Amino acid sequence: MRACEPLTGSVGVPGDKSISHRAAILSSVAEGVGRIEGFLQADDCLRTADALRALGVYIDPLGADVIEVHGEGLDDLHAPDRPLELGNSGTGMRLLMGLVAGREFATTFTGDESLSRRPMDRIARPLEQMGARVEGRGERCMPPVTVHGGHLRGIEYHSPMASAQVKSAVLLAGLSAEGRTTVVEPAASRDHTERMLAAMGADIEVDGLAVTLRPGRPLQARSMRVPGDFSSAAFLLVAALLVEGSHITTGEVLLNPTRTGLLTALQAMGADIGIAGRHEEAGESVGDVSARAGALSAAEVGGDLIPRMIDEVPLLAVAATQAGGTTVIRDAGELRVKESDRLAAMAQVLGAMGGQVAEREDGLEITGATPLRGATIDSRHDHRVAMSAAVAGLIAEGETVIEGAECIETSFPGFPAALRGLGAECIEEEE
């Protein structure tokens, strides 16, 4: 990466990762054929689809932009003949743990080195309260994890954190439970699972921060189009905000309010961002988002906003290096148990590039505006860290080399090509 001329033009982004996971999983236990257009062809989602195949679900053709999932209901899932290898996909592992918890067989989940360090206890606790048995490594129940499914009972679970993965796993288990299942969160997390369950005919009710599922209604398969991933578009939009003279538009992007906290934070910092063509696709808000370069000011970001931008916090840290004053990011301790410790990783990345960053227990303090310089960056095999470093490299003096950048394929295949299409100098080197 090198500092570049203004970024200009319109660009599309791959299908939303969160919705792709859920579309495949829920279609697999619905009745009928679910046609999913725009399914994300990234490693994380392909791992989920492959795991569903191992559970007996017919998916065709895997590896295409449009797939068909032939569901025959919950009872048609069967014991896999091998451990389910989820690679780096924490979402896939956690949601599938909930799906199989009510089945009368054992399922073992494995992952790569990074996923094997991520705690699954937050999923194991509610599933065990419902009647499943979960085994993992150590006190935090790290993978490999085995879920011994069985007869489940509905519970009212008060989640200690706002987590869409926890909420979704419990709701998926609730499909097989006796009696209703309620999840209450301390703050709103992304709500794709409950939206999709409702669209497929589930008896589900949302009341503020509580979601209640009453089992018994078979899910009905439907055709759907996956909108562009906001989390992917965000990297291109922030790049345009920071590279002088830039103006870009990302089209047909998911605008679910539980996902667009970054837009709220950036607008509080004075960012020139616009939304046009807003409409609905399968119950989700979609539109075109544009960004124009301009001066930014520091802000304090925390509280209920963090769950709405949890994947974009590393990127916000990059933007904060170019904002006048000291930006404080707080209440983001969840980032320490992602693909990497993202707070420590971004403090190290931006510090190596000349940024003024102080790491806090639950966040970061970044003082700007500060000129950045190129550096060799260890991505820690974390796609969000790698892409954030790439955006920083676009405004840094000299060359920025990102080691382990192949991890970007887990969520945004074609990211370097998208940057080049907007005018960036981005060279991919073969290993």
Q: Which of 311, 362, 378, 382 is catalytic?
A: 311
Cα–Cα distance, 220 to 222 (Å, whole number): 6
Give yes or no: 311 in active site.
yes
At 201, the amino acid letter reads: G
Question: What is the rounded distance in angstroms from the CA atom of residue 298 to the CA atom of residue 324?
Answer: 5
Whole-angstrom distance, CA of residue 18 vs CA of residue 92: 9
Inter-residue contact 395 to 322 (CB < 8 Å): yes
Amino acid present at 361: E
- Closest residue by Cα to residue 119 from 95, 96, 145, 98: 145
Could you list the active site residues? 311
